[in-house]
């Protein structure tokens, strides 16, 4: 499978890549981080179990993030957004304690930032792209401070020719200007470019709308949702599967 895409399409001139759950862990570590944090606060929950707290937070969070406008605004200040989500979850359980909500959400934010790590093989694959002369752009949604810390922590600046962060640029995926700006910086057009990311709407559909060949990272391994309107051009489970092997 690794070589088939190159055998059928050849090499692109450039790749645009998402950051979270494509190059570094994000949603993949969220659930376990919440469980760890909820267990620590059991003594302060007045008889509410860690499992109940986690389930309550998850329920509120899923409802919040399903709304497109909430998603657009909330991802730019995750710390404040998480505080509001936990506050709402606690109130639904009969706990009107904003201080406790802040402590729970802030501990989660700190613990998750510590837990973020490169996905196995991802950075090595990026370096292999660099070695064969691909032009690379990192395009990521979210706040500038959080995303810049990840980029710096894992030394990604030296790999990418261009980095676009929503919080700095003023627009996020799937806005056309994100892709067109990145392609302009790399001096390529859509037909010469691939997009790689894990979000069907923001990474795949947004890029396909401009004629960019789009590769979905199905890191959960669950396959496309039933009746998915978005149909990626290619599906992988990890970036490592795009490692290029020169033909003999």
CATH code of the domain containing 234? 3.40.50.1000
Gyration radius of the chain over CA positions: 19
d(CA 26, CA 115): 9
Residues 55 and 149 occupy one common structural domain: no
Residue 200 maps to a domain:
yes
pLDDT in tens, 100-141: 999 999 999 999 999 999 999 999 999 999 999 999 999 999
Cα–Cα nearest to 76, from 202, 163, 170: 170
Which structural domain, as residue segments, surrounds residue 55?
Answer: 27-115
Q: Using the structure block, give the residue that is written with the tokens 């309107």.
A: 229
pLDDT in tens, 71-88: 999 999 999 999 999 999
Residues 35 and 150 occupy one common structural domain: no
Residue 232 maps to a domain:
yes
* Whole-structure pTM value: 0.94
Residues 142 and 236 occupy one common structural domain: yes
Whether 39 shows a pLDDT value over 50: the answer reads: yes
Structural tokens at position 84: 């509001």
Query: How many residues does the structure list for the chain?
Result: 248
d(CA 101, CA 97): 6
Share of the chain above pLDDT 90, in %: 93
pLDDT in tens, 205-215: 999 999 999 99
Mean pLDDT of 141-154: 97
The pLDDT of residue 1: 43
Share of the chain above pLDDT 70, in %: 98
Domains in the chain: how many in total?
A: 2
Mean pLDDT of 28-36: 96
Residue 139 maps to a domain:
yes
Residues 234 and 132 occupy one common structural domain: yes
Q: Please, which pLDDT band fits residue 247 given cuts at 50, 70 and 90? A: low
Last residue of a domain, one of 90, 115, 140: 115
Residues 238 and 124 occupy one common structural domain: yes
Residue 247 maps to a domain:
no
Write out the chain in H/E/C secondary structure. Answer: CCCHHHHHHCCCCEEEECCECCCECCHHHHHHHHHHHHHHCHHHCCCCCHHHHHHHHHHHHHHHHHCHHHHHHHCCCHHHHHHHHHHHHHHHCCCCCHHHHHHHHHHHHHHHHHHCCECCCHHHHHHHHHHCCCEEEEEECCCHHHHHHHHHHCCCCCCCCEEEEHHHHCCCCCCHHHHHHHHHHHCCCHHHEEEEECCHHHHHHHHHCCCCEEEEECCCCCCCCCCCCCCCCEEECCHHHHCCCCCC
Q: Please, which pLDDT band fits residue 3 given cuts at 50, 70 and 90? A: low
Whether 177 shows a pLDDT value over 90: the answer reads: yes
């Amino acid at each position: 499978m690794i070589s088939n895409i190159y055998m059928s399409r050849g090499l692109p001139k450039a790749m645009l890549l998402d950051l979270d759950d494509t190059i570094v862990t994000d949603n993949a570590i969220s659930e376990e981080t919440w469980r760890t944090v909820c267990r620590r606060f059991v003594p302060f929950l007045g008889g509410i179990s860690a499992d109940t707290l986690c389930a309550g937070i998850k329920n509120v969070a899923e409802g919040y993030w399903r709304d497109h406008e909430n998603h657009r605004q909330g991802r730019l200040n995750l710390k404040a957004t998480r505080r509001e989500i936990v506050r709402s979850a606690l109130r639904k359980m009969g706990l009107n304690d904003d201080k406790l909500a802040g402590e729970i959400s802030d501990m989660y934010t700190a613990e998750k930032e510590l837990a973020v790590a490169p996905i196995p093989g991802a950075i090595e694959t990026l370096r292999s792209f660099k070695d064969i002369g691909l032009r690379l752009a990192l395009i990521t949604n979210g706040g500038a401070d959080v995303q810049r810390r990840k980029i710096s922590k894992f030394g990604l600046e030296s790999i990418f020719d261009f980095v676009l962060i929503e919080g700095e640029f003023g627009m996020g995926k799937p806005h056309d200007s994100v892709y067109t700006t990145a392609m302009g910086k790399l001096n390529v057009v859509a037909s010469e470019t691939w997009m790689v990311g894990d979000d069907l709407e923001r990474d795949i559909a947004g890029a396909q709308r401009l004629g960019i060949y789009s590769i979905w990272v199905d890191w959960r391994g669950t396959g496309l949702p039933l009746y998915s309107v978005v149909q990626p051009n290619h599906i992988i489970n990890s970036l490592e599967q795009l490692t290029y092997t020169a033909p003999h």
